[in-house]
Every structure is written in C-alpha cells, then in structure tokens.
Amino acid sequence: MSKQTITTEPKRPVDVLFDKYAESHQNPTNKLVHWICVPLIVFSLLGLIWQIPFPHIGFLGSYNGFFNWASFLLAFSLYYYFTLSPVLFFLMIWVVGLMSYIIVKIEQAVGLGSGTAYAIYAAIFVAAWIGQFIGHKIEGKKPSFLDDVKFLLIGPIWLLHFICKKVGIRY
C-alpha cells in the first residue's frame, strides 16, 4: 500500500491578510455594505486629501499641478498593493484613476479647496463610515482595522480579489 503525501503550498501574505479580513466579513448584508461603502470611503478620503493645499515646487515646472497630498497617499498605497499582488495593484491603478478623474471633474465644477468640495467629500466619508459600522453591527464583529490599521488598506483589494476569482484571474 502506497502512502500519499499531500503537500500544500504555503499561503501568500495577501491570502493570509484576506483570510483574516474575511473573519469579520461573513454576513451577506455586511458584505453588501462593504461593496458600497469601501469604494465610497476610498473616493471621499482621496477627495478630502486632494483638497489640502499643496506647495508650489519650482523644479516641477508645468507638472506642479499633477502633484498634491493625495499623490503621496496613492504612491504609498499602490506600492503596498504591488508588494502584495501585482495584479491587484494593476486593478487598483484603474480604480484610483477613475476616482481621480471624478475628483478632477468635481474640482473643475466647484473649485479646488472650496467649501462645497470639502462638504461633498466629508458627507460621503461620514455616511460611508456610518454604513460600515452598521454593517459590522449586523455582523456582530468589530471592524478588522481596530486590530491592525493596515486592514484599512486591505478592504479595497479584498473586494477586487472577488472580481478576479469570478473571472478566473489569479491575483
């Protein structure tokens, strides 16, 4: 009789993070709330940070307008995503690209740093976080980020990994 050995591949860091994140995201209602609120939180946070005045840096010349405080948040976040999964990093570039486009359109409509822009992003931010906490109340578990702040960055790619699975893309 032959003995079969089952070898399992060690989990990638991104899968370990997703498993931990999923522990407090089992309830279907909470998952639905996350599909709505996580993108809104990312969008509104990006919009709020975009509004913070950025100093003029002479050597950037005509490119100065392309840099703001949100640029640094995006660079840090996208680098972190790249270290976890190049595929999810690539998808997040598209997501934040679309969000940035919408933010620029809002900026063109109401003006950079205007009270209206702040109010729009703040209202979305607060409403989305209220939704998140309601979802976790329904779930009966506290949000993951209360244990580890890096889970604030995991939420968006946790959602994207479901899309990858659905269409058969190995993330």
Q: What is the pLDDT of residue 30?
A: 96
Residue with tokens 């009789």: 1
Ranges of each domain in the chain: 13-53+67-167
The confidence score (pLDDT) of residue 57 equals 86
Confidence of residue 144 (pLDDT cuts 50, 70, 90): confident
In tens, the pLDDT along 9-28 reads: 889 999 999 999 999 999 99
Q: With bands split at pLDDT 50, 70 and 90, how would you rate the model's confidence at 3?
A: low
Confirm whether pTM is higher than 0.95: no
CA distances from 146 to 14, 53, 57, 74, 141 (A): 19, 30, 37, 22, 11
Provide the pLDDT for residue 111.
78
